[in-house]
Structure 1
């Protein structure tokens, strides 16, 4: 019980390490506590316990035979150094600077019922996307999650019968890039707000996929949607109230060609409402955005069927948020 009560201490230590840039500072090298203090502008009073806590948690290694030098663990090198394929630093930075403080207002939220991020869903994206630095950081945050989801979508969905897909709300195209690399016959698209286009172009150029993925700009509630064989949408529906989710899936039903497929991934709540991970994820959505929450697979299935699809598969997958992937086929009329 006490470990749950004090779990925030572990999270805060790692968050501060990410905010300070400790892991990129140590990449490929070892440094003493004194060198870290000087290099990162820290005060020595707390630094020893801070660094050794990270050793105990498995994020750093300490060489006691070589002057007590600190270096990144293999996991920190793989996940917390910018530029690594599975970089989670952007996601941790968002949790450190935004989510952590929002969660501190949970008691207040339980009393008044309101989100505590200070944003409203239908305006927050357009407003926050005007800030280039914030937008780039948010894309790093999203990529941390979609790198794992992309791996599952590549391997768990049968793409052989389809030639095209569009990832709606697909950010700078991290999932789309992984799909076309793994399945050379596919041609992809990403639909998102116009402010993301420069970061999309940069990401496609970096991965050599610019000639196989097209960016479609617009608002997926108001703008015309591109026709496609497969519509992909994930970590999007939970930002909106149920009526908006049903409306959006209905619009995707119009965009998908007859016989095409709809793929939805999210941390769907188990029907018995006993899985703490999905329930905590749902609570986080409610804390971040008015109207936001996770939803059950049964609720999702009802929206999908109302839009003219038949649910074919629901698959739990190994991602950061223990997502489920729902696939459905559009009924020919």
Structure 2
């Protein structure tokens, strides 16, 4: 039997330690809209890309940038250096071309625009327990985002793109056979409601969020031509009741808040449901052993950066809260990647 090599290696240490290099290469390409331009042109040489992106660095720098993206598998390449022609990889062509409805780059744009610098202060966040974003000088995160129309639109589309895979999977996997109506509390651009309406045409959906979000949600609803099935309703889920429905969903909402506030929101969802109704929290649910869903734990750290007291949670945490509120039973439905639906039945 071959003996397993147990010799120490710094490979993983160096890979993770230099991970911000890889991250910034991809984020820069998205910021330049490189993959969108490649999708339109099909293939481009390095010099064509350099001119198209108005890069003033040396040709060698451009080769290094593009060949790093090639090494990661984001672009394909035929030839080398001056003779090379670049084109999109399969995943980038589907998910990082802004002209396709499958574009998920919104969350990555926000990571580049906001979170990249904020995460540089993770140590300060851990030392102080305080947010490390725009609110370091005071104020509320959501107030600051909602006060800036451009920042709000970026934030809304970022949240929508981050959960698109999970929303589609939920629309396809959840058993809607006993239900007719759905309210998505904190519905943002109405993407969860739209995915449900698209895959489950018998369900009537309400996307419930603050009035500042309504124009964005209505624009998205019109784009999908589903205004007969999805309505945008304005309100504040802290001060207003959540509109009654057979199913109440919250996508990436609970993780923003501390435990006390989570319980308030779960109670409000409970109040909006009939007996037999379902409350669904779509999140990067951390596995109970806290070993596997590393993305979920990093998202929880992101809540430290963003809110100071928000955090991601395990299914065991969810069960405890659901039982405290009075739900009869719970289940966990894996959706896509690190995303799952924690479901509580009234």
| 2: CA distance, partners of 1:260 / 1:111 | 42
| 1: CA distance, partners of 2:298 / 2:143 | 27
Q: Does residue 51 of structure 1 match 2:51?
A: no
Residue among 18, 39, 56 paired with 1:6:
18
Residue among 212, 231, 247 paired with 2:264:
247
| 1: CA distance, partners of 2:196 / 2:275 | 22
Instruction: State the match for 1:220 in structure 2.
Output: 237
Instruction: State the match for 1:117 in structure 2.
Output: 133
| 1: CA distance, partners of 2:280 / 2:329 | 10
TM-score where L is the length of structure 2: 0.90
1:158 CA drift (Å): 0.7
Q: Does residue 19 of structure 1 match 2:31?
A: yes
Asked if 1 retains the 8 angstrom alpha-carbon contact of 2:319 and 2:330, the reply is no
Q: Does residue 293 of structure 1 match 2:305?
A: no
Q: Does residue 80 of structure 1 match 2:93?
A: no
Q: Using the TM superposition, name which of 118-127 and 190-199 deviates more.
A: 118-127
Structure 2 runs not aligned, ≥5 long: 1-12
| 2: CA distance, partners of 1:308 / 1:216 | 27
Q: What is the alpha-carbon root mean square deviation over aligned residues?
A: 1.9
Instruction: State the match for 1:104 in structure 2.
Output: 120
Secondary structure of 1:151's aligned partner: helix
Q: Does residue 233 of structure 1 match 2:250?
A: yes
1:198 CA drift (Å): 1.0
Instruction: State the match for 1:40 in structure 2.
Output: 53
Listed one character per residue, the Cα deviations across residues 248-278 of structure 1 (whole Å, up to 9, x for unaligned) are: 1111111112221111121222222223232
1:122 CA drift (Å): 8.7
Q: Does residue 273 of structure 1 match 2:293?
A: no
Structure 1 runs not aligned, ≥5 long: none
1:47 CA drift (Å): 1.4
Listed one character per residue, the Cα deviations across residues 40-66 of structure 1 (whole Å, up to 9, x for unaligned) are: 111232212111111111111222189
Q: How does 1:129-148 map to 2 (within 5 A)?
A: 129-148=146-165
| 2: CA distance, partners of 1:27 / 1:13 | 19
1:315 CA drift (Å): 2.3
| 2: CA distance, partners of 1:259 / 1:273 | 31
Asked if 2 retains the 8 angstrom alpha-carbon contact of 1:250 and 1:306, the reply is no
| 2: CA distance, partners of 1:32 / 1:324 | 41
Instruction: State the match for 1:162 in structure 2.
Output: 179
Count, aligned residues: 328
Q: Using the TM superposition, name which of 270-279 and 149-158 deviates more.
A: 270-279
Secondary structure of 1:317's aligned partner: strand
Runs of 4+ aligned residues of structure 1 deviating over 4 Å after TM superposition are none
Residue among 254, 263, 266 paired with 2:280:
263
1:240 CA drift (Å): 0.7
